[in-house]
Amino acid sequence: MKAKELLPFIPNIDTLQYYGKVVKVVGLMIESQGPESSIGDVCFIHVGAKTKKRKIMAEVVGFKEQNIVLMPYTNIQDIRPGSLVEATSKPLQIKVGPELIGKVIDSLGHPIDGSTMPIGMKAVDTDKTPPNPLSRPTIAEPLEVGVRPIDSLLTVGKGQRLGIFAGSGVGKSTLLGMIARNTKADINVIALIGERGREVREFVENDLGPEGLKKSIIIAATSDQPALMRIKGAFTATAIAEYFRDKGHDVMFMMDSVTRVAMAQREVGLAVGEPPATKGYTPSVFSIMPRLLERTGTNQFGSITAFYTVLVDGDDMNEPIADAVRGILDGHIVLDRSLANKGQYPAINILQSVSRLMSALASSEHRTAAVRVRDLLSTYLNSEDLINIGAYKKGASREIDEAIQAYPEIISFLKQNTDEKKTLQESIQSLIELSETGEFN
């Protein structure tokens, strides 16, 4: 840019630097007398002795009388009364670019393996407004995820958003890894929020694998990190996905889990004085959910197909976060512990799961086959107790006889090894054959 082109910007440059000082610390909440800042702005708290000075990043989360209330992104060691607080007058920004593909980064966009940040990337805000509803193209094209039960019975469209609902230890991470390896999307953006530290490497090496990592960006915010870092992990991951969508790519976005984002927001809300509402969740939790989840989907440039895992308490599918998320998304996939205990993986309960866009994406033959297989499975499960105790006599009901005959083939169809890959067309063709003859390839 030439000097003449810069002249109009000079009058708007603020040459002053604004400072305040710490007056109170309670838990993770820091009160500061000044500087002048807005909600969401990033500030730096200067700490340490003269020889070991450092800055702690913090965000303005509220106000208390004339003081601003800050929450740090990292630990608060060395903060003392009178510590200098420096205003940036900007919200959190991260650097994004194709150079991030294949890397594991933290909530601030820094590689967690200690490597240096690539140069030449673009700075973007982590918190943005969702696309205008009228600028979103309708979803009319299916996206292959490479998991047979999903592609055939819960067909996903480019730009659709689904929830994966399950209790702990039922196979959510394994299913996400399968989707990331097998999908036809251009790039994967995967947010691991509130995970145990050891699970991050296990997911990258075992569930995702080298093949999946080659086209993926991992954002990790482990459970030991402050609540604000866990929340920002979700916003940072969404901003990265938006960047690639705006470049015209079809992005596969996965977040594990949105429940832990809600728990982190509850921590922040309670700390700043919000009243607890449903099951202790503060009102801000239920306002942040749609603002975050609506950012994915389609826009005029590309698409973000999103899978959000929801950790349901005690396998209760109607707990507050599960209920709120289910009402926002375009479908839900329920993983059933009883199916996992029987050795069925992925443990998808087809009868409780739904893709709200499948009717618009599937051909009439595909829809007919899906309805037929669901009907056979439902008929068998409704009569399972009678069948198991020998109270049902063959020939009493034609529908039950057909369901008994088809049930073993249906269960085999719903199972898929983690290293097995099926194309969308193969899955649909197998479903049609199963509905017609009870056999599949």
pLDDT tens-digit profile of 354-368? 999 999 999 999 999
Residue (of 348, 338, 406, 346) closest to 375 by Cα position: 406
pLDDT band at residue 51 under the 50/70/90 scheme: low
Structure confidence at residue 22 (pLDDT):
92
Per-residue pLDDT at 382 exceeds 50: yes
Q: What single letter denotes the amino acid at residue 307?
A: F
| Cα–Cα distance list, 276 to 189, 265, 284, 328, 430 (Å) | 33, 12, 10, 22, 50
Q: Which residue has the tokens 């049930």?
A: 407
Q: What single letter denotes the amino acid at residue 423?
A: T
Structure confidence at residue 437 (pLDDT):
66
User: What are the structure tokens assigned to 323, written together?
Assistant: 């209920």
Coil vs helix vs strand at 97: coil
The residue extents of the domains of the chain are: 18-91, 94-358, 365-437
Structure confidence at residue 441 (pLDDT):
47
Structure confidence at residue 170 (pLDDT):
86
| Cα–Cα distance list, 104 to 78, 238, 376 (Å) | 29, 15, 44
**pTM listed for this prediction:** 0.90
Per-residue pLDDT at 343 exceeds 80: yes
Contact 178, 420 (CB under 8 A): no
The 10 Å CB-count burial string (b at 16+, else e) for 405-439 is ebbebbeebbbbebeeebebebbbbbbbbbbeeee
439 vs 76, more confident: 76
pLDDT band at residue 217 under the 50/70/90 scheme: very high
Cα–Cα dist 97/121, whole Å: 5
Per-residue pLDDT at 409 exceeds 70: yes
Cα–Cα dist 89/108, whole Å: 17
pLDDT band at residue 196 under the 50/70/90 scheme: confident
pLDDT band at residue 41 under the 50/70/90 scheme: very high
Give me the CATH topology for the region 365-437.
Substrate Binding Domain Of Dnak; Chain:A; Domain 2 (1.20.1270)
pLDDT tens-digit profile of 107-159? 999 998 877 887 888 899 999 999 999 989 999 999 999 999 999 999 999 99
Residue (of 414, 274, 277, 291) closest to 350 by Cα position: 414
Find out if CATH 3.40.50.12240 is the number for domain 94-358. yes
Top CATH class of 18-91 equals mainly beta
Cα–Cα dist 249/354, whole Å: 26
Structure confidence at residue 7 (pLDDT):
59
Q: 12-21, 28-37, 142-151, 174-183: which range is least confident on average?
A: 12-21
Region 413-435: mean pLDDT is 91
Fold match, 94-358 / 365-437:
no
Cα–Cα dist 81/69, whole Å: 14
Per-residue pLDDT at 246 exceeds 90: yes
